[in-house]
């Protein structure tokens, strides 16, 4: 069983799409171009997805989000520009291979699932690379993952 810490007001969080870390994430993604698809793990109501749709309107965007209220708000705001995957962590990111997997403020919000497993699933799904914008030491996190393949 996996639960995810969600925000009580999806609109408030969605409106944070202009914060500097969203622009920094997009800037980091530039280093991985060319790519056709991006999957964000723990997308909440989609503030990063909004920033990405403005930056790359023709890319295939996926948003993994288990909280139905946050996901519903993001779907209402972004329409068909984003494919939402209503699952948690490694189950959601393992849905299909993508060019880039983004972890943006989600690893510390996972409950009931080891973040190393989720990160390993993201590494296995990412064909070009991953981008991490987290409140943890990202380099130490990546070094702690023993394999690019998630355990069954």
Over the stretch 37-87, which tens digit does the pLDDT of each residue have?
999 888 887 888 888 999 999 999 998 888 888 888 888 988 999 988 887
Dump pLDDT digits (tens) for 12-30. Answer: 566 667 777 788 888 889 9
What pLDDT is recorded for position 136?
62
- Is the per-residue pLDDT at 114 higher than 90? no
Judged against a pLDDT cut of 60, whether residue 112 lies above it is answered with no
Instruction: For residues 31-40, give the mean pLDDT.
Output: 93
The set of residues, in sequence order, having a beta carbon less than 8 Å from that of 98 and lying 6+ positions away, is: 37, 38, 39, 60, 62, 125, 126, 127
**Residue percentage of the chain with pLDDT more than 70:** 68
- Residue 33 CA to its chain's centroid (Å): 17
Cβ-contact 37, 62 below 8 angstroms: yes
pTM score of the predicted model = 0.78
């Amino acid at each position: 069983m996996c639960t995810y810490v969600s925000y009580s007001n999806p609109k408030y969080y969605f409106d944070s799409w202009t914060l500097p870390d969203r622009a920094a994430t997009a800037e980091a993604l530039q280093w991985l171009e060319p790519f056709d698809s991006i999957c964000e793990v723990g997308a909440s109501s989609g503030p990063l997805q909004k920033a990405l749709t403005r930056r790359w309107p023709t890319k295939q965007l996926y948003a993994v989000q288990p909280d139905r209220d946050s996901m519903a708000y993001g779907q209402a705001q972004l329409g068909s520009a984003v494919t939402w995957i209503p699952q948690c962590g490694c189950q959601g990111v393992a849905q299909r291979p993508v060019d880039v997997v983004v972890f943006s403020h989600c690893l510390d919000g996972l409950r009931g699932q080891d973040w190393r497993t989720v990160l390993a699933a993201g590494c296995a799904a990412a064909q070009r690379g991953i981008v991490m914008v987290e409140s943890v030491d990202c380099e130490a996190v990546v070094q702690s993952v023993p394999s690019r393949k998630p355990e069954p």
